[in-house]
Structure 1
Amino acid sequence: MKAQYLEIYDHDSDVDISHKANTTELDNWICHINYIEKELVNLSGIYKVITPKLEDDSILNKLFKKQAENETLLNALNKYVLVRSNLIECDDMQCDMVYITEHESYRRSYLYHIDKYRRLKSELYSIMYDRLTL
């Protein structure tokens, strides 16, 4: 999926601009989560090669758990794309605010997921580095 960038026009209201920015941001999140999905497969494969038959498979278990969480978030974001298609039916500020508030909720979920993923990846790299420098 390629990120979509919506044109902002002079006649767009602040709310229209916000919705367009949020749509572009959502597309970028989905692209990033798709990339992470592929990266997790590669990282677990590399980890298995570098650390064969370890008694403690906690990192590998964490990678598999993160893959499941990543898939869950990706599914939620894809469903959210469909919900946002009803955005054009909004005819008042209250309706627009519902979508903007919901987007903020998804933003927090995405950022939390990314933060946890980066921590796991750092932990994994540290272990692999230690293994390679022995």
Structure 2
Amino acid sequence: MELNTFFNHDSDEQIVQKRSAEELNLWLSHINYILNESDRLAKIASNVIKNREFRDHFLELIIKNQSFLNELLSYKNSMVHYKECDDFECDLFYINKHENLREKYIKAIGNYRSHKDQFYSKMLS
């Protein structure tokens, strides 16, 4: 992932926008990874340990995280308008949207880790 460089002439708004874009790209990368790993874990649950319950949990996670990924991509596409903001209200809209997505991201990561931990615990018992 390429990090943006901040310059002395960048405004506070430009720095916030760059950092938000970097963070969003990181979230997209993580959710994509979770989707791929969930698919592999669902296949292991189904084909190797023959556990439908875990397979179904991972398939459900795939559906939820694909929906969240689409929401993140939609937000990324709207970031063009964020760069065109010329008043505080517009900036605040995007800042609040970003914070809302951050909360969803943290929940998605926590939920995934919990399912994965349960899966590994079951495999090792």
User: Whole-Å Cα distance in 1 between the matches of residues 100 and 32 of structure 2?
Assistant: 20
TM-score, normalisation: structure 1? 0.87
Other-structure match for 1:58:
53
Higher radius of gyration, 1 or 2: 1
Structure 2 unaligned regions, length at least 5: none
Larger relative contact order (C-alpha < 8 A, sep ≥ 6)?
1
Shift of 1:44: 1.3
> Which residue, out of 104, 114, 118, partners 2:113?
118
Other-structure match for 2:18:
20
Percent identity for Structure 1 against Structure 2: 33
| RMSD of aligned alpha carbons | 1.3
User: Whole-Å Cα distance in 2 between the matches of residues 88 and 76 of structure 1?
Assistant: 19
1:69 and 2:67 equivalent? no
User: Whole-Å Cα distance in 2 between the matches of residues 44 and 91 of structure 1?
Assistant: 47
User: Whole-Å Cα distance in 2 between the matches of residues 49 and 69 of structure 1?
Assistant: 22
User: Whole-Å Cα distance in 2 between the matches of residues 73 and 7 of structure 1?
Assistant: 28
Other-structure match for 2:36:
38
1:93 and 2:88 equivalent? yes
